[in-house]
Structure 1
Amino acid sequence: MNSAAPGSIRPSSELESGNHVSRKGQVLAWAVWDWGSASFNAVMTTFVFTVYLTSGAFGGKDQTSAVLGGALALAGAVIAVLAPVTGQRSDSGGRRKLWLGVNTAATALLTGLCFFVFPRPEFLLLGVTLIALGNVFFEFAGVNYNAMLAQISTPKNIGKVSGFGWGMGYLGGIAALVAVLQLFVQPAFDWFGASTQDGLNIRLVAVFSAIWFLVFALPVLLAVPELPRPVRGPRPGVRASYGLLVRRIKAIYQTSPHTIFFLLASAVFRDGLAAVFTFGGVIAAGTFGFDLRDVIFFAIFGNIVAAAGAVGGGFLDDRIGPKAVIVGSLVGLLAAGTAILVLGNANYVVFGFDWSGSTTFWVFGLFLSLFVGPAQSSSRAYLARLAPGGEAGELFGLYATTGRAASFLAPALFTLCITIATPLVAPGEAQRWGILGILVVLLAGLLVLLPVKPPGKTGFASLPAACPPPKQGSAD
């Protein structure tokens, strides 16, 4: 195997010259992390625990939804400030896998601590704080996880591999939700964990989710090699890392301005995509009257549809390009979301059939699920295609930074729309108008994306080194 020069993507070049079986094993191990992470995404932040936090046990649903939205907005601001150094320093120090493991463990720990959130109003702050902090560490883990895409794929299959990872995440969500349903929400057998007293069954869901994530995070930590440490001088300090970030953004703008334009566009629409899942279960329960069992059933079917969309979008990505997939997905999301907002929970007669509010959410909610996966998967593959040798991790650090810099938008607009609507509509109707805030974010992301050139029509980005390489003969 040829040794790679400093600055090349060592794992990718080693993979391309290695054996096919090894590559498949690494792809599967990498995707299994996504499978495990669904216990945090699907169970904790979307369909079960946030629904629990916004239930009547913690106060009025409009007020609890606003508190949750505010906490997630604050978490996004924290991520925006800290992500530049977390991704940059783990990559430059050759510790991508290490920090993936550390941040995954922190997320699991915070998830497990949700066991202590009892169903009383005084525990609302603890609950939203743990969920918000969990989001912070989960995003830090995601920086390193996404950067690994360049290690385990090739230019010809990167869209497929990215889609496979997202698909595994959705399928993992199905498996986790079925387990939660059968063990805790609608138990198939009698055991102490099925008790609803003091919310024990839902609090045990948090423990289950933490263990699930940890177990399925192990394969990637064992199968995918750590990055070789770059041949460079000493790493910059934390303060200097921010200065380096500014220089790198300037360098990217000079060599590949459309990379910056894509980072800005994706920062906006990815926040809208995240909000679809974050607030989906909350809206299903609060606006459309789903009980927890109904929310979980919808989540299972939604994840099946989302997995199919992600895998199918991955194949399209390798054929028509990631931009076309993202644009089509955003248009579909806007159409489906608008239908839910306009139709609401009212009953209609459509072609002689009774159309209820729950039917509205089932039909158009599944359309939302279909389009979210391809947009997320192709966004990741889009950036990986723009990264030259040795700089994929650095670009994904910026990807997380710009994404989280905008991550307050959807939660803040969701909260703002609820707040504005509260005195204007009937009690309990304000929550539905939070959907408008999410749609505004998705539309803004689409409009910023439209003029961006697709990969292949713009140059590769180029990043300056963190430190100049050591002089010949000097100590490493």
Structure 2
Amino acid sequence: MCAVTLAGQAPARRRVISWALWDWGSSAFNAIILTFVFTVYLTKAVAPDPDSGSADLGVGLTIAGVCVALLAPVTGQRSDAGGRRKLLLGVHSAIVVLSMAGLFFVRDEPSYLLLGIVLVTVGSVFSEFASVNYNAMLVQVSTKENVGKVSGFGWSMGYFGGLIALTVVLFAFVQPDVGLFGVTSAGGLNIRIVALFCAVWFAVFAIPLFLAVPEAPASGDKLRHNFFASYVVLGKRIGRMWRSERQTLWFLAASAVYRDGLAAIFTFGGVVAAGTFGFSSTEVVVFAIAANLVAGLGALAGGRLDDSVGPKKVIVASLIALVVLGVALVVLPGKATFWVCGLALTAFVGPAQSASRTFLARIVEPEREGEAFGLYATTGRAVSFLGPLAFSGFIGLFGSQRAGMAGIVLVLLAGLAVVLPVRAPEGVR
């Protein structure tokens, strides 16, 4: 059954833009705090040495992953039942903002490492919780006819927002000897001020959603049980899905596999560019900027195609293209190859991500969107080891990063194989 839309008429464009601006703002946490800037600062400048710092950070993020896997479905379920989707999105977003602001106090001394890792871990957990309710809101800001376009627009805003925020912090604070407002690197101030910038960035761009998008009504399941009893309810719900909505469960499992392959593309792209294709640090940054731009444009185009041909066809076509381009990167040498095939490859990541979200939004039962996207987060976390394991395992077996790329291609191929049998319910392409 298609859950789109809760409203009886097409949502106003202002509501769609306000919803997507949340993704624009939240991307600062993923792009700057988790990926390119602050975690690098933690492991290289705050920790006694990069190896121990990376290990400690890995422990923190592992704890975050376990928390998300265990708690996301129940959190989403209870937001559905209580009609508190927007409220919980606001609470979780505020915790992420506060955790980023707190990182300002993490100086470049080993005694601050624990504080930094705790704040990054907390931010990571609540960023995922917020995303569960944000994704569930897709049905409130779209119709059956335009859900693909709206989802693609949201994904593209995430890419573009992260790109703009990263560019600002690099040229305003990170690169210059004396940055904006006279900021220098003394005491790690140039990086700590970036955390404050990210907190303000997210807070400002999240506000329109809370002003323009109404709260979702409560589902028919009233909250008559405590938090722990919610797991019993969830278990019964999964049992019913196994009996009557098995295709939804199969899609959750299948998408988890290929989504981990998609994540691995960005996780290891810079490593491969430098190690296999001889990119300098500057070239890696330029490629990262170009890749995010292309991925955002791809998400926009893929969203429109989603509404025309259906999300599954977009997913399958994107995965086939990713496998073909990945094989080309494995067998062909030269920087030009990486620029052409690498950027072409990123163009298909956004459509696959966006179409996965719309496929679930189209098939989930009405008023169970939070629960469904909670399970979406949990299944993704459950197999989040696949991409890194395939990459590192193939390098260990064959002794080259090219072999590692082949490992990621195999994860994508496995995801394609398991998603092909998924059948959409009647009325969903």
Q: TM-score range by the shorter chain?
A: 0.7 to 0.9
Amino acid at match of 1:23: A
- Aligned pair 1:270/2:263, yes or no? no
CA contact (8 A) 1:87 1:397 kept: yes
3-state SS of the aligned residue for 1:451? coil
- Distance across 2 between alignment mates of 1:34 and 1:86: 20
Quick one: which of 129, 153, 167 aligns to 1:164? Answer: 153
Q: Which residue of 2 aligns with 1:12?
A: 5
Aligned-residue RMSD, C-alpha: 3.4
- Distance across 2 between alignment mates of 1:133 and 1:435: 31
Q: Deviations over 1:233-270 (max 9, x none)?
A: 44321221111111111212222211111011112222
- Aligned pair 1:400/2:377, yes or no? yes
Quick one: which of 206, 209, 212 aligns to 1:220? Answer: 209
TM-score (structure 2 length as normaliser): 0.86
- Aligned pair 1:37/2:26, yes or no? yes
With over 3 angstroms needed to count, the CA separation of the structure-2 counterparts of 1:189 and 1:56, relative to structure 1, is closer
CA contact (8 A) 2:255 2:419 kept: yes
**Alpha-carbon deviation of 1:444?**
2.5
With over 3 angstroms needed to count, the CA separation of the structure-2 counterparts of 1:63 and 1:362, relative to structure 1, is farther
Amino acid at match of 1:183: A
- Distance across 2 between alignment mates of 1:111 and 1:412: 30
**Alpha-carbon deviation of 1:131?**
3.3
**Alpha-carbon deviation of 1:140?**
0.6
With over 3 angstroms needed to count, the CA separation of the structure-2 counterparts of 1:367 and 1:13, relative to structure 1, is same
Q: Which residue of 2 aligns with 1:471?
A: none
- Aligned pair 1:450/2:420, yes or no? yes
Higher helix share: 2
CA contact (8 A) 2:183 2:189 kept: yes
Q: Which residue of 1 aligns with 2:91?
A: 102
**Alpha-carbon deviation of 1:115?**
3.2
Q: Deviations over 1:295-350 (max 9, x none)?
A: 4432321121011100110111111211111122223333444455556xxxx5xx
Comparing 74-83 and 108-117, the one that deviates more = 108-117
Comparing 285-294 and 100-109, the one that deviates more = 285-294
- Aligned pair 1:381/2:374, yes or no? no
Quick one: which of 280, 304, 308 aligns to 1:315? Answer: 304
CA contact (8 A) 1:48 1:296 kept: no
- Aligned pair 1:88/2:77, yes or no? yes
Max radius of gyration: which structure?
1
Comparing 292-301 and 33-42, the one that deviates more = 292-301
Count of residues in Structure 1 that have an aligned counterpart in Structure 2: 429
**Alpha-carbon deviation of 1:209?**
1.2
**Alpha-carbon deviation of 1:70?**
5.5
- Distance across 2 between alignment mates of 1:191 and 1:136: 31
- Aligned pair 1:151/2:128, yes or no? no
CA contact (8 A) 1:187 1:194 kept: no
Q: Which residue of 2 aligns with 1:135?
A: 124
Amino acid at match of 1:39: A
- Distance across 2 between alignment mates of 1:8 and 1:448: 22
3-state SS of the aligned residue for 1:90? helix
With over 3 angstroms needed to count, the CA separation of the structure-2 counterparts of 1:30 and 1:146, relative to structure 1, is same
TM-score (structure 1 length as normaliser): 0.79
After TM superposition, the structure 1 = structure 2 runs for residues 159-198 of structure 1, keeping only pairs within 5 Å, are 159-187=148-176, 190-191=179-180, 194-198=183-187
3-state SS of the aligned residue for 2:305? helix
CA contact (8 A) 1:181 1:296 kept: no
After TM superposition, the structure 1 = structure 2 runs for residues 186-335 of structure 1, keeping only pairs within 5 Å, are 186-187=175-176, 190-191=179-180, 194-230=183-219, 232-281=221-270, 293-335=282-324
3-state SS of the aligned residue for 2:315? helix
**Alpha-carbon deviation of 1:50?**
3.9
3-state SS of the aligned residue for 1:12? coil
Q: Which residue of 2 aligns with 1:362?
A: 339
Amino acid at match of 1:107: V
**Alpha-carbon deviation of 1:53?**
4.8
- Distance across 2 between alignment mates of 1:253 and 1:371: 31
- Distance across 1 between alignment mates of 2:279 and 2:40: 10
With over 3 angstroms needed to count, the CA separation of the structure-2 counterparts of 1:295 and 1:28, relative to structure 1, is same
**Alpha-carbon deviation of 1:28?**
0.8
With over 3 angstroms needed to count, the CA separation of the structure-2 counterparts of 1:308 and 1:294, relative to structure 1, is same
Quick one: which of 373, 378, 387 aligns to 1:410? Answer: 387
**Alpha-carbon deviation of 1:399?**
1.8
- Distance across 2 between alignment mates of 1:188 and 1:117: 20
With over 3 angstroms needed to count, the CA separation of the structure-2 counterparts of 1:230 and 1:392, relative to structure 1, is closer
**Alpha-carbon deviation of 1:37?**
1.3
With over 3 angstroms needed to count, the CA separation of the structure-2 counterparts of 1:86 and 1:388, relative to structure 1, is closer
- Distance across 2 between alignment mates of 1:54 and 1:149: 36
**Alpha-carbon deviation of 1:12?**
2.9
- Distance across 2 between alignment mates of 1:52 and 1:285: 20
Gaps of 5+ in 2: none
With over 3 angstroms needed to count, the CA separation of the structure-2 counterparts of 1:437 and 1:68, relative to structure 1, is farther
3-state SS of the aligned residue for 1:225? coil
With over 3 angstroms needed to count, the CA separation of the structure-2 counterparts of 1:24 and 1:308, relative to structure 1, is same
With over 3 angstroms needed to count, the CA separation of the structure-2 counterparts of 1:64 and 1:331, relative to structure 1, is farther
With over 3 angstroms needed to count, the CA separation of the structure-2 counterparts of 1:191 and 1:383, relative to structure 1, is closer
Gaps of 5+ in 1: 1-6, 349-354, 460-476
**Alpha-carbon deviation of 1:99?**
0.8
**Alpha-carbon deviation of 1:288?**
6.2
